[in-house]
Structure 1
Amino acid sequence: MKTHQYIIITALLFVILFYDQDMGLNLGILAIAYAILTLFRTPEKNRTRTFLILFATSIFSGMAFAWYGDFPSFLAVVSSLLLLAYRSKNRRMKILFLIPVFIVNCCTSFCRFFSFDQWLPKRNVSGLWQKTLAFILIPLVLVSVFFGIYSAGSDHFAALFTDYELDINLWQLFCLSVLGFFIAFNYWNYAVEKLIYKSNHVLDNDFPKDSQVPKSTYSFLDLDSERMSGVISFILLNILLVFFIITYNYEQFYEVPKTPVQLSEETHERINAVILSIIMAILVIMFYFKSGFNFDPKSGLMKVLAKVWIFLNAILVISAALKNYEYIVNYAFTYKRLGVFAFLLLSLIGLALTFIKIQKKKRNAFLFNTMIWYLYGTILICSYINWGGFITSQNMKRKDFAINYHFTAINFNEKALLKYGNEKNDQKLKKQVHDKIENEKSKTSLSKILYYQTIE
């Protein structure tokens, strides 16, 4: 099929799936359809292992949204399909360029729409699609536009048509058609500007050979001065970090116990400080090891000091994780507390990648090129696992289990709440949960969330 056929088919599918529907099963179906059509459209040479993995994650993300219909699964669907479409056409382009490509295409889509030669058949070949476009779609668009203009200018003209009642929401149909076409057009007909193609080498992981010569970064500092600056800086930073780790752990584990509110505030502040510290640590290392300075044969001491600093920062992350675990043991699981573990894990991964960057003399772009995949993996994990059910099932074991909090603030935990209601013979809770389930089940077929359909 040609580009315009993919656009028309998926735009029409969008309208069919979403007309008079809420978002639910329909988006999952649409995502899977996009993924399958992308697979068919992708040339064999571009069906790399990465592409096939993205195809699988796109299918699973569509299924996850059909099952849960929440924001993490929506984010997984969007990111998976964008990555899939990007890899379908550009197997060597760096993933980080996906963001500017997406923004540029959305901003220029109106102009690109009128570049008909780029997405419509270039030859006048008789066929169903050409006739449909020429005899139906274009006249229909023109008639619709002028109908709106004339209706606004004459009440009698408008009355000729408004006296008839059709069981069709024309405004909704129009908006869905525009939105569906906009999504399909930018998905199937996106373009990568030449400037971005030419800039692809900027994000290479390895230094080119002509950059592997040791030289100073700035004109006002010679190589020896810059090297000594790095050594002094890392010595001082290591000493400072050792004292911070000692005081940090003393405050966390040995000070007088605080009230729950105080403990919550201090834990959040300290973990935020740790995460900020890790980010700054990585930025400092990126500053000193960003160029040919990586290949300086006399920089061995500075590299050792940098690796020690990475190790000390890892200890700091583990300390924060232990405190967060203690916080959970004392005050139960929540989304935020699980999120802290995710951030700390990503911080550890960032430190490990920074160590690899120094060890293997990689460019700073290596960190971004690699971390983006770990971030994507985190999104997938958040969308595939029922964290609400996990939180509730764990907190149910506590004596201070807060029923109202888990009913109102935690999602997809109805099975666990029904189990708890049966164990405690809490008829009120069971009725509230059943009412919520029945409300979800009463939605139209394409708006349903499959999770609720599995609860008896």
Structure 2
Amino acid sequence: MNTKKIQLTFFLIGTLLFNWLFWQEQLGLNLLIFNVFILLSAYIIYPNSFKSKYVIAFSILCILTATFVFLYGSTIAKITNSILLLICIGYIHQPKLKAIFFAGFTAIINFFNLPLKKVFNPKNSIDNQQKSLNKIFYVLKIVIIPLLFLSLFIIIFKFANPIFNELTLKFWLLIKKLFSTISWLRLLFIVLGAIVIAAFIYHENILKFIHKEQKLSDFISRKRKSKNQLPNNVIQTLSLRLKNEYRSAILLVCSVNVLLLIVNATDVNWIWFNFKYNGNFNLSQFVHEGTYLLIISVLLSMGIILYFFRKNINFLPKNKLLKQLSILWIAQNIILVISVGIRNYHYIDYYGLAYKRIGVIFFLIATIVGLITLYIKITQLKSAFYLLKVNSLNIISVLILLSSFNWDIIIAKYNINTISSEKMDVLFLLTLSDKTLPLIEENKHLLNQENPFYTEPTYRYEDKLNTFLETQEKLSWLSMNLSTQKAINYYKNRK
């Protein structure tokens, strides 16, 4: 069987499988099955692509994160798996690629390039398109003209013969009933599935990212111009311009170092060693403002360092001071990261875990790695391409790490066991996923700890529980994840 027939076979099977796996289902075991099917199909259609270490690595990560979805059913695991599957397909379609973001762009462009046209018109040439149009017009000419005359005679006989009119009405009622049973939403879902499967199975030969990547390097190279090519006055002007840029860089980096030193000194004195919270300020705002300050500071640091260390300033014989000041600035940003981490620790200590507080922890980890790569860039003359390549891997690693934990259960257990009932946000507990309902059931006394007559949390819990059980009855085994199944079994055993 040739490649086109194999592709068409997997396309048709995949479209039917997509519809069966996901129609009116939640993501769970079905996502793991879908990942296995896509990767197995890709291996059969593009076996040479699996010689790439990137394809093998991302295939393993796809199965791993899909397994996390099956185990925990967390939203972050579902998002991470979708991103990884997209990147993996980009690598499969273009196995010569190395950068994660180029693989992702390749897959996205392939997805939006109307992949269905590959199914129905593989060569996609102008001649083939013209032939297809001629064929359509030919069929229309053969079908439409007889239909017009047939319709005319039906109208005539309807008015001429009452029995024929009655038969015609019954026929149209039957047609109407037949079409009323068709789910148009289901048809749209099948079309969506066909587009998704086609984007995975078929691909256009998008080479621009390969060509672009081949021109890029992990290291900055010095751009020299021969003295014979330029007159002396131009050489002197360029040299003076470079020295002025160096002086400007020294002034700027020195100034922001002093400014950040003042901020860090106050943070270290207050937050690290003398922090006391007595409720006289908003702790949430205290953490979030520190995080926003950190984001701005790190982005500015990266932007300024990338700008000044982009070209020949890296090769100035007396640029040691600028490098030292830049490294000091990076070190101060790491101190700022630690300060935000301590703020977040105090917030968790007083009010417990929450999604954003966990997000801050992992953001800080990614930030420290990003700052270390900035240090490597300065000391080892790395390029902006290197920074993008390493930090895209950094972000993917953080997402995978986030996906590997059952956060809703961790949050619920920590808050119930650690935070006092007076400070606990019970309504927040009720916003966690349904898998935490058994934990809340076992600690139901917390729902009305403020007032024995205050029953809103209890009502919310009962409503959430009823909705959960009703929803699960409508789902099949395809939607199963082990964490939710454990909650279902808990309530089944209570009956």
TM-score for both structures, normalised by structure 2: 0.75
- 1:441–1:448 Cα contact (<8 Å) kept: no
The counterpart of 1:117, out of the listed 115, 119, 122, is: 122
Moved more, 29-38 or 380-389: 29-38
Alignment of 1:21-60 (within 5 A): 21-44=25-48, 46-60=50-64
- Once the 2 structures are TM-superposed, how far is the Cα of residue 24 of structure 1 from its aligned partner? 4.3
The counterpart of 1:357, out of the listed 377, 381, 387, is: 377
- Once the 2 structures are TM-superposed, how far is the Cα of residue 286 of structure 1 from its aligned partner? 0.8
- 1:290–1:363 Cα contact (<8 Å) kept: yes
Give aligned pairs, total: 425
Larger radius of gyration: 2
The RMSD of aligned alpha carbons is: 3.8
Q: Residue 202 of structure 2 corresponds to which residue in structure 1?
A: 189
Alignment of 1:391-430 (within 5 A): 391-397=411-417, 398-400=419-421, 401-409=424-432, 412-421=435-444
> What is the rounded CA distance, in whole Å, between the counterparts of 2:448 and 2:44 in structure 1?
54
Alignment of 1:222-371 (within 5 A): 222-250=241-269, 252=271, 254=274, 257=277, 259=279, 262-371=282-391
- Once the 2 structures are TM-superposed, how far is the Cα of residue 278 of structure 1 from its aligned partner? 1.3
Q: Secondary structure at the match of 2:383?
A: coil
Q: Residue 66 of structure 1 corresponds to which residue in structure 2?
A: 70
- 1:98 partnered with 2:111: no
Amino acid at match of 2:79: L
Q: Secondary structure at the match of 2:483?
A: helix
> What is the rounded CA distance, in whole Å, between the counterparts of 1:74 and 1:203 in structure 2?
33
> What is the rounded CA distance, in whole Å, between the counterparts of 2:25 and 2:291 in structure 1?
42
- Once the 2 structures are TM-superposed, how far is the Cα of residue 275 of structure 1 from its aligned partner? 1.8
Q: Secondary structure at the match of 2:382?
A: coil
- Once the 2 structures are TM-superposed, how far is the Cα of residue 272 of structure 1 from its aligned partner? 0.9
TM-score for both structures, normalised by structure 1: 0.80
Amino acid at match of 1:177: I
- 2:344–2:360 Cα contact (<8 Å) kept: yes
Amino acid at match of 1:163: K
- Once the 2 structures are TM-superposed, how far is the Cα of residue 21 of structure 1 from its aligned partner? 3.8
Q: Secondary structure at the match of 1:454?
A: helix
Q: Residue 176 of structure 2 corresponds to which residue in structure 1?
A: 162
| CA deviation profile, 1:131-164 (whole Å, cap 9, x unmatched) | xxxxxxx9xxx9xxx9xx99xxx99685452234
- 1:234–1:309 Cα contact (<8 Å) kept: yes
- 1:390 partnered with 2:410: yes
> What is the rounded CA distance, in whole Å, between the counterparts of 1:13 and 1:291 in structure 2?
53
| CA deviation profile, 1:181-218 (whole Å, cap 9, x unmatched) | 101111222224343332223543223575799x99x9
Q: Runs of 5+ in structure 1 lacking a partner?
A: 121-137
Q: Secondary structure at the match of 1:204?
A: coil
- Once the 2 structures are TM-superposed, how far is the Cα of residue 402 of structure 1 from its aligned partner? 3.5
Q: Runs of 5+ in structure 2 lacking a partner?
A: 126-135, 149-154, 156-167, 227-233, 450-457, 491-495
- 1:212–1:292 Cα contact (<8 Å) kept: no
- Once the 2 structures are TM-superposed, how far is the Cα of residue 284 of structure 1 from its aligned partner? 1.0
Question: Given the superposition, is the C-alpha separation of residues 416 and 295 from structure 1 closer, same or farther in structure 2, using an over 3 Å criterion?
Answer: farther
Question: Given the superposition, is the C-alpha separation of residues 365 and 425 from structure 1 closer, same or farther in structure 2, using an over 3 Å criterion?
Answer: same
Amino acid at match of 2:30: N
**Identical positions, percent:** 22
- Once the 2 structures are TM-superposed, how far is the Cα of residue 374 of structure 1 from its aligned partner? 1.5
- 1:442 partnered with 2:447: no
- Once the 2 structures are TM-superposed, how far is the Cα of residue 298 of structure 1 from its aligned partner? 2.1
Amino acid at match of 1:343: F
